[in-house]
Amino acid sequence: MALPTVLWLIIFCYVPIFGLIMAFQELNITTGIFGSKFVGLRNFEFLFASTDAWVITRNTVCYNLVFIVINMVLAVTTALLLSELRSRLLAKSLQTIYMLPYFLSWAVVMIVLSAFLHRDYGIVNKVFISMGWQSGPVDYYQSRGLWPYLLVFINAWKGVGYQTVLYLAVISGISGEYYEAAVLDGATKRQQAWYITIPHLRLVIGISIILAMGHIFRGDFGLFHVVTKDSGRIYPVTDVIDTYIYRALTKLSNVGMATAAGMYQSVVGFALILFVNWVVNKIDPDSAMF
Amino acid sequence: MAKEKVTPNRFNQISAGWNLAFTILLIGTSFFMLIPLVLVIIVSFSSEASIAYKGFSFFPSEWSLAGYKYLMKMGDQVLDSYIITITHTILGTLMSLAVMTLYAYVISLKNFKFRKFYTWILFFTMLFSGGLVPAYIMNVRYLQIDNTLWIYLLPSLVSAYNVIILRTFILSTIPDSLFEAARIDGAGHFRVFISIVLPLFKAGIATIALFNVVNRWNDWFTGMLYIKDSKLIPLQTLLKNLQDNIDFLKQNAQIAGTPDGLELLDSLPDQNLRMSCTIIVIVPILCAYPFFQRYFVQGLTLGSVKG
């Protein structure tokens, strides 16, 4: 019964791991892995000698850290507020609306965003010009300073609803007795949130952060490649490891270096997961993954 | 999952003033979520002249169905893409479910000798992988499934994360004694799986089916990386290509060959065509969304439980 999955794991997971050997080769696509020349660490040298390695690592890690913190704070706040609404129906409908963007693909998000940022027809250019804040149309897909904020915003727009629903589910599972006891002792609403609700959320927040930390070396390809329309001028603030690998593979056809970058990502990511898990084991063994 | 309210007692409700403040704040936020989509819908119904004159606007000077009409006229590409996306979604989900539920059953059998081993070879793939390039070389050079329908079905067949969720579902909803009783009565593993696990397990399967359907419907990456044949391009990739260049659709339209067609192409309403294409891509998922929301919440809560 386990056979199909085992076969799949071998073909699509374990064999490709050995493909990492290409990171040490100059791949000849016609002769394949077995007929290619070994070049030692040259691919890695090439990768780390450029400033690219630093830029993509910085972007990937920093964006992810900001995403994790911002989305969590927004989601917990929204969940707390929603849970206090007197009208359950309203809370349910709002929850549905918040989660909606989660179901859209990055390709759709890109089109939606371009309705605002398009150089000639975008609503932002039209409004800013008519207000006199801009003398002419600006191509926002070339404006480097804007994108760090924009990416954080878009990521929150798409992802916060999902987390809100998660936290809301946990809040609705907290026994009402805690709150009754607190009210009898004269606790205010704020005190109840701080001393009852938040501590109950701690475990779920902890697990979410641990999982996210393990993926901190993976950039969301859709967000960084599609939503930015792969605009070259803003690479310094939008290029992440995943987009870099994709370009090295498809545009430069430099398979060796693309594999090297991928291996760098996998190995450091793996080390990070082990480290985070080790730390969690020290602090709170119950939340550790393994 | 408990459905009880957070504040079951009326006396512990927030004051009317705060309730109003929260309501306004939260409804305001919900507008933030919806308005971008409203804009796309409006633009898709705006005339090209209105867009040229006012840009993308919530208040177009003229309404028009031109975008949708052109979409219909250029039917072939859109239809092909719909068929591919639907095949990818339905066939892919069914295949995934068949394979993954079986494996989840195996690794949830408490007295199975190799249970730990099978769980670990699965779990490890969540921690370490070869990454994009070895997978690409595997698919393109050795399996040669690029530019075929298989590329949508095979590499995405199993999701380790989903199998772990399914296993947690089985462990938490179906008592061991039930398995044992059935085994003692002489039922084989397949029999137990089909007549005990599956029926008790509908909610779990629905949840995972849902994750699968959404991910597959929204997949543009596979089409972008592996597909060259325009007959095999899924909707989402078509949408992305449209943004890159509207010519993609022009080249592949059946009308391109005729003199009438050339005239038609010159007058193509590029901008609202993009928006109407976006709408036809998201409408099916938005229609299905209210029905599967319940399962989604369920799965997402379970996914966060330690596996």
Interface subset of A 144-203, CB within 8 angstroms of B:
157, 161-162, 165-166, 169-174, 176, 179-180, 183, 189, 192, 197
Give the CA angle between residues B116, B122, B124 to the nearest 5°: 95
Pairwise CA distance, residues B92 & B87, whole Å: 7
Q: Determine the average pLDDT of the residues in A247-270.
A: 91
**pLDDT of A183 over the 80 cut:** yes
pLDDT: which is higher, B57 or A106: A106
What are the tokens at B281?
Answer: 């891509």
Tell me, what's the pLDDT at A158?
94
Tell me, what's the pLDDT at B39?
92
**pLDDT of B75 over the 60 cut:** yes
Q: Over the stretch B168-177, which tens digit does the pLDDT of each residue have?
A: 888 888 877 7
Alpha-carbon gap: B23 to the closest alpha carbon of chain A (Å): 7
Tell me, what's the pLDDT at B250?
53
Q: Do the Cβ atoms of A116 and B36 come within 8 Å?
A: yes
**pLDDT of B122 over the 50 cut:** yes
How many CB pairs lie under 8 A apart between chains A and B? 285
Using the CB atoms, write b or e for A69-100: b if 16+ within 10 Å.
Answer: ebbbebbbebbbbbbbbbeeebbeebbebbbb
Q: Do the Cβ atoms of B7 and A2 come within 8 Å?
A: no
Place of tokens 């989601």: A75
Q: Is the dihedral of CA A280, A284, A285, A286 positive or negative?
A: negative
Q: Determine the average pLDDT of the residues in B217-228.
A: 94
Interface subset of B 265-294, CB within 8 angstroms of A:
271, 274-275, 278, 281-282, 285-286, 289-290, 293
Phi, psi of B174 (to 5 degrees): -110, 120
Tell me, what's the pLDDT at B138?
92
> For residues A67 and A158, is the Cβ–Cβ distance under 8 A?
no
Q: How far is CA B163 from the centre of its chain?
A: 17
Alpha-carbon gap: B259 to the closest alpha carbon of chain A (Å): 30
Q: What is the 3-state secondary structure (H, E, C) of chain A?
A: CCHHHHHHHHHHHHHHHHHHHHHHEECCCCCCHHHCEECCCHHHHHHHHCCHHHHHHHHHHHHHHHHHHHHHHHHHHHHHHHHHCCCHHHHHHHHHHHHHHHHCCHHHHHHHHHHHHCCCCCHHHHHHHHHCCCCCCCCHHHCHHHHHHHHHHHHHHHHHHHHHHHHHHHHHCCCHHHHHHHHHCCCCHHHHHHHHHHHHHHHHHHHHHHHHHHCCCCCCHHHHHHCCCCCHHHHHHHCCHHHHHHHHHHCCCCHHHHHHHHHHHHHHHHHHHHHHHHHHHHHCHHHCCC
Tell me, what's the pLDDT at A213?
82
**pLDDT of B10 over the 70 cut:** no
Length of chain B: 307
Given pLDDT bands bounded at 50, 70 and 90, which one contains residue B8?
very low
User: To probe the interface with B, which of A26, A80, A103 has the most B CB atoms within 10 Å?
Assistant: A103
Pairwise CA distance, residues A205 & B217, whole Å: 29
**pLDDT of B17 over the 70 cut:** yes
**pLDDT of B4 over the 50 cut:** no
Q: Determine the average pLDDT of the residues in B6-12.
A: 54
Q: At what angle do helices A147-172 and A88-99 cross, to 10 degrees?
A: 140
> Residue type for B67, please?
G
**pLDDT of A56 over the 80 cut:** yes
In chain B the domains, ranked by start, together with CATH numbers, are 17-64 (no CATH), 75-307 (1.10.3720.10)
Phi, psi of A38 (to 5 degrees): -85, 135
**pLDDT of B89 over the 90 cut:** yes
> Among residues of chain A, what percentage have pLDDT more than 90?
40
Tell me, what's the pLDDT at A75?
95
In chain A the domains, ranked by start, together with CATH numbers, are 35-287 (1.10.3720.10)
pTM for the structure as a whole: 0.87
Q: Return the residue of B nearest to A9 by Cα.
A: B122
What are the tokens at A98?
Answer: 């918040």
Q: Do the Cβ atoms of B158 and A8 come within 8 Å?
A: yes
Given pLDDT bands bounded at 50, 70 and 90, which one contains residue A110?
very high
Q: Over the stretch B125-158, which tens digit does the pLDDT of each residue have?
A: 988 998 899 999 999 989 999 999 999 999 999 9
Q: Return the residue of A nearest to B223 by Cα.
A: A107
**pLDDT of B21 over the 50 cut:** yes
Cross-strand partners of B209: none
Average pLDDT of chain B, as a whole number: 82
**pLDDT of A35 over the 60 cut:** yes
> For residues B64 and B46, is the Cβ–Cβ distance under 8 A?
yes
Using the CB atoms, write b or e for B129-160: b if 16+ within 10 Å.
Answer: bbbbbbbbbbbbeebebbebeebbbbbbbbbb
Q: Determine the average pLDDT of the residues in B54-78.
A: 83
Cross-strand partners of A25: A38
> Among residues of chain B, what percentage have pLDDT more than 90?
35
Given pLDDT bands bounded at 50, 70 and 90, which one contains residue B267?
low
Q: Is B261 helix (H, G, I), strand (E, B) or coil?
A: helix
